[in-house]
Chains A and B, each alone.
Chain A
Amino acid sequence: MMNNSRSEIISTMTGLFYPYILLLGFYVILNGHISPGGGFQGGAVLASVFISRYLVDPEKCVRIKILQTAEKLLFLAIILFAVLIGISKVMIFNSLTPVVYLIIMNSLIGIKVCCGLTIIFFRYVFYEGGI
C-alpha cells in the first residue's frame, strides 16, 4: 500500500521546491521583527520541509533521538539567553540592541519549533499504531 501511493510527479516537484521552502522559512524567521511572521511561523514552514520529505520517500526515517536532544538544548538556550540578557541589561546598560536580541530569539524559537513539529509528525507516522 505504501508503494502504490508514491507518485513520480509529486516527488520531483517537491524536490524542486525544497530550497525555496527553506529560503522562505529562514526569511520569515529572520525578518520576524519587521514583517509579519516570526519564530513560530517560520519554524512551522521549516518543519513542512521535513514533512514533505516523507511524501517523497516514506521509508526514510529522520534521526528522532538527535532532534529530541537538540530541542531540549534549544529550550534551555532560550531561557538562559533571556535571563542572561535581563541580568546584563541591569548591570551594563544598553549593551545589546533590541533588534539583535529579537533576531537571536526568533531564530532560536524557529529552530525549536521546527524540531518539535518534526518529532511530533515522525513519531506519529512510525511508532503509533499499525499500518
Chain B
Amino acid sequence: MTEKIFLIGLIILAIFAVNTRHLRRAIIYLGIFSLVSSLVYLFYGSPDVAIAEAVIGSTITTVLFLVSFKKSRVFIIYYANADFNSSDSRKTIKARGQILKSIEKFLIDHEFEPQLIMTTKSYELILASEVFDLLVYQDNAQLLITGPDEYHLDGIETFLKDKSFKDLEICFGRCVEYEEFRS
C-alpha cells in the first residue's frame, strides 16, 4: 500500500519536472524524483540499488545538472529606482511589477533564465561597475531600459511595444546619457 502511494508520487513529480517553466525547479524536482524512487526500491527489497540510486541519482546527478545549468545562459537584469524613498508607493510597485513581469516572460519565451537584481545604487554607478545584460531604471512613471547588447534590446522593444502600459512612458536607450533622459 505504502509503495503505491510513492509510485503515484513519482508520476506526479515527473509531470511537475516536465511542466515547470523554470529549468532550475525541474532539476530539483528530478532530484526529489530519484530520492523517492530509491525509497520505492527499498520497499521492493533491494537496498543495494536503493543506495546507488540515492547517491548517484539525487546527489551527483543533481549537482552536475546544477553546474551545467550555471554554465548555460543566464540573463542578468538590474533594476534601480531614481528616488528610493518613493519606491514603496503603490503606483511605483505596480509599474515595476508590470514591466518586469513582461520582460521576464519575453526572456523565458526565448529560453533565457532571467536573474533579477534590485539595487539602490545610482544609474552611473551601475553603468560603471556592474556587469549586466539589461538595466531597468525607473523614475516615477518614466522608465529607461538599456543594455549593452542591441540585439536583445530590439527584441524587448518590439515585444513591449505590442503591449500598451497606461501611464507609463518607456524609453529605450542605446548607451543614452543620463542627462538626456532627465531632460
Contacts and interface: CB of A to CB of B under 8 A. Distances in A.
A129 B71 contact: yes
B102 interface: no
A124 B67 contact: yes
A99 to B, nearest CB: 19
Given A28-B51, A38-B48, A41-B55, A121 B60 contact: yes
Given A1-B70, A44-B56, A131-B70, A36 B63 contact: no
A48 B59 contact: yes
Interface residues of B, number: 16
What secondary structure prevails in chain B residues at the interface with A?
Answer: helix
A44 B55 contact: yes
Given A48-B55, A48-B59, A48-B60, A130 B48 contact: no
A78 interface: no
Contacts of B50: 36
A37 B60 contact: no
A51 B59 CA distance: 9
Given A48-B60, A55-B63, A124-B64, A36 B71 contact: no
A121 B64 contact: yes
Contacts of B68: 124
Interface in A78-131: 117, 121, 124-125, 129-131
B52 A51 contact: no
Pairs of residues from A and B, 6 with the lowest C-beta to C-beta distance, nearest first: A36-B47, A44-B55, A41-B51, A36-B48, A48-B59, A41-B52
20 contacts: A1-B74, A28-B51, A36-B50, A38-B48, A41-B51, A41-B52, A41-B55, A44-B52, A44-B55, A47-B60, A48-B55, A48-B59, A54-B63, A117-B60, A121-B63, A121-B64, A124-B64, A124-B67, A124-B68, A131-B70
